């Protein structure tokens, strides 16, 4: 194959590894299987990575980065304003659209989490993976509050964990059933639940009585 820069070679191998893991599982994602999927030689692999473990670390980082970019363009100010419920629901829909567009990547993500939890020495990588997810969700919640002019009634870190739990369940259920209607119902429930934790940033001010206004007549018997 033509000589390509190491950065491009690494990216191609990571993409190939995602496909192998999603299709066959982590156990089947051997160095030889990955280079075959990428259409490269074994020597090309060792030119880009020192070991399979290094590739697995890069792979997890890559899929988490993809999760962050899924939310990046969503939470923007809406002309005419938007409620917290509408803002959260739009964000969830965009997340789900990303899941539907590339289900193999989502399957690989769950597979990699389980692998990291089982593989000696890689458990911290699974924790780091979910720490990143929680951070992405928390950033989205902070942005949603700013856009809608709300505060949160509970700490954003706590709500972020709930949101990640909801999206994990949504994703796994859809990967198994491919039921879009059920996914929409789940997103509606999640948007309602999250929005219920929002409160107006400032209570509306009570009207100031006009001292010159006439006093209403009292009712007489």
Q: Domain ranges for the chain, please list them.
A: 1-50, 53-200
Residues 163-219 pLDDT 10s: 999 999 999 999 999 999 999 999 999 999 999 999 987 543 344 455 555 554 544
Task: With beta carbons less than 8 A apart as the criterion, state whether 144 and 75 touch.
Answer: yes
- Asked if residue 22 has pLDDT above 90, the reply is no
Q: Tell me the CATH architecture of domain 53-200.
A: Orthogonal Bundle (1.10)
Residues 93-141 pLDDT 10s: 988 998 999 898 888 888 888 888 988 888 888 898 899 889 988 988 9
Comparing 115 with 64, which gets the higher pLDDT?
115
Mean pLDDT of the chain: 83
Cα 65 vs. chain centroid, distance in angstroms?
Answer: 10
Residues forming a β-bridge with 199: 151
Q: So what's the pLDDT on residue 70?
A: 60
1-50 matches 53-200 in fold = no
Q: So what's the pLDDT on residue 115?
A: 87
**Is 3.40.50 the CATH classification of the domain at 1-50?**
no
Q: What whole-number percentage of the chain has pLDDT above 70? A: 82
Q: So what's the pLDDT on residue 116?
A: 87
């Amino acid at each position: 194959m033509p000589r390509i820069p190491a950065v491009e070679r690494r990216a191609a191998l990571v993409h190939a590894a995602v496909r192998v893991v999603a299709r066959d599982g982590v156990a089947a994602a051997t160095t030889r299987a990955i280079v075959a999927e990428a259409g490269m030689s074994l020597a090309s692999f060792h030119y880009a990575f020192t070991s399979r473990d290094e590739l697995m670390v890069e792979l997890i980082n890559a899929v988490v980065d993809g999760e962050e970019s899924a939310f990046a363009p969503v939470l923007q100010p809406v002309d005419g304003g938007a409620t917290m419920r509408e803002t959260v629901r739009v964000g969830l829909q965009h997340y789900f659209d990303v899941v539907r567009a590339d289900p193999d990547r989502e399957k690989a993500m769950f597979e990699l989490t389980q692998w990291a939890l089982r593989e000696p020495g890689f458990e911290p990588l699974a924790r780091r993976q979910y720490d990143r997810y929680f951070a992405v969700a928390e950033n989205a919640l902070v942005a949603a509050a700013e856009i809608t002019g709300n505060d949160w009634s509970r700490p954003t870190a706590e709500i972020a964990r709930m949101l990640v739990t909801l999206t994990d369940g949504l994703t796994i259920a859809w990967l198994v059933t491919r039921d879009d209607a059920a996914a929409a119902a789940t997103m509606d429930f999640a948007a309602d639940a999250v929005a219920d934790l929002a409160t107006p940033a400032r209570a509306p001010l009570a009207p100031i009585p006009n001292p010159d206004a006439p006093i209403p007549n009292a009712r007489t018997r």
